[in-house]
Structure 1
Amino acid sequence: MPAIRSLTNTLRSRIQHAHLHTTRPAFHTPPPKIDVEALLATPTWSLDSLLPPSTPSTSTPTISSKQLHHLLRLSALPPPEDAAEEAKMLSSLSSHLHFVNEIRKVHVSGLTPLQSLRDETAAGIEMQEIGMKNLEEAFKKEEVKGTYYRRIRRGQDRVEEGESVKTWDVLGAARKKVGRYFVVDGGKE
């Protein structure tokens, strides 16, 4: 009887202490209302800011012809055939660098980085989860053996044996045979 009392007292004290450690604040204030239409009425940036200006600015790093040839050599690409193609490559590379520099200026502190390039919404995560429905087919192939020490045996997928499998001469390509075995010469003679 004393054991039951001590158990009851222990449970009672745990229940009382559990109410003290709540995660909800006592006074909950609702989040402020945001006027979405007013927020989206004026754009905060333009796509044109990511593109290079029509006139080259001094802030954009210039790439020399020597650097271009070095980059092409590193990436195992052929050098430009003439000056026009080289100028086109330099212009394209300059616009790419401007785009990358504008992307690097974006303030991302406080944002969680992507885990991978996939659907990270609740529906996407649920679709990727492996559940019992996905495993039913595999569980049907299992067979439990033993009474005291239970072992699971998984049946292998059987391939239908056609005529080509039945008539295939396994040792047909072997140069040396001894009975139903093929012989491999060792390294030392």
Structure 2
Amino acid sequence: MLSKPTWSVQSLLPSEEQATDSPRISSRQLHHLLRLSALPAPKSPEEEAKMLKTLSSQLHFVKEIQRVDTAGVAPLRAIRDETAAAEKEIEINMASMADALAQEEVLGKHHKRIRRKEKALVNMKGAEDWDVLGYAQCRSGKYFVVDSGSE
């Protein structure tokens, strides 16, 4: 059943000569959306025209998806395998927890605390040496800065 797709993303996008039935987006609306998204404004009229065309295509795509008849289709609860076999596979029981429980110990007489055994501690050296802001283009102290483009 899944070997041959019945549709493609390209089939839901408007062709070059086809006029889209999506609402017209003005330059002012585009700049407003870019400001809300903290994205940079277009640098040229050509770039702005390209952004408007892309946004129009995306709106056309969403309208095409919304036209799909979903009558009688159960709502999707999660993006995972929801068959009975998959539900059984992810079921947690004492047998599946045996390894995790074997790494714990109970301390104390009156106020019992469950702790992970010393030898089962996780090595955190790599996480401690990780430079969180290493790829941030703009930072201020220990924080990264998002440039909204407005002055």
TM-score band, normalised by the shorter chain? 0.5 to 0.7
C-alpha separation between the residues in 2 aligned to 1:102 and 1:63?
18
Number of aligned residue pairs: give it: 113
Partner of 1:108: 70
What's the C-alpha RMSD, in Å, of the aligned pairs? 3.2
Answering whether residue 117 of structure 2 is matched by residue 157 of structure 1, we say yes
The letter for the 1-side match of 2:117 is: D
Aligned counterparts of 1:139 and 1:59: Cα–Cα separation in 2: 59
Query: Which one has more relative contact order, counting CA pairs under 8 Å at least 6 apart?
Result: 2
Query: 1:1-189 counterparts in 2 under 5 A?
Result: 46-47=7-8, 49-57=11-19, 59-140=21-102, 141=104, 154=114, 156-159=116-119
Structure 1 Cα separation of the partners of residues 116 and 71 of structure 2: 51
Query: Which has the greater radius of gyration?
Result: 1
Amino acid across the alignment from 1:104:
Q
State the percentage of identical aligned residues. Answer: 48
Measured after TM superposition, the shift of residue 79 of structure 1 is 0.3
CA contact (8 A) 1:80 1:86 kept: yes
Cα pair 1:142 1:152 within 8 Å, conserved: no
Quickly say closer, same or farther: Cα 1:158–1:101, change in 2 above 3 A.
Answer: same
* Paired residue type of 1:93: L
Q: TM-score, normalised by structure 1?
A: 0.49
Unaligned runs of 5+ in 1: 1-35, 37-42, 161-189
1:77 match: secondary structure: coil
Report the alpha carbon displacement of residue 119 of structure 1 after superposing the two structures with TM: 2.0
With over 3 angstroms needed to count, the CA separation of the structure-2 counterparts of 1:57 and 1:154, relative to structure 1, is: same
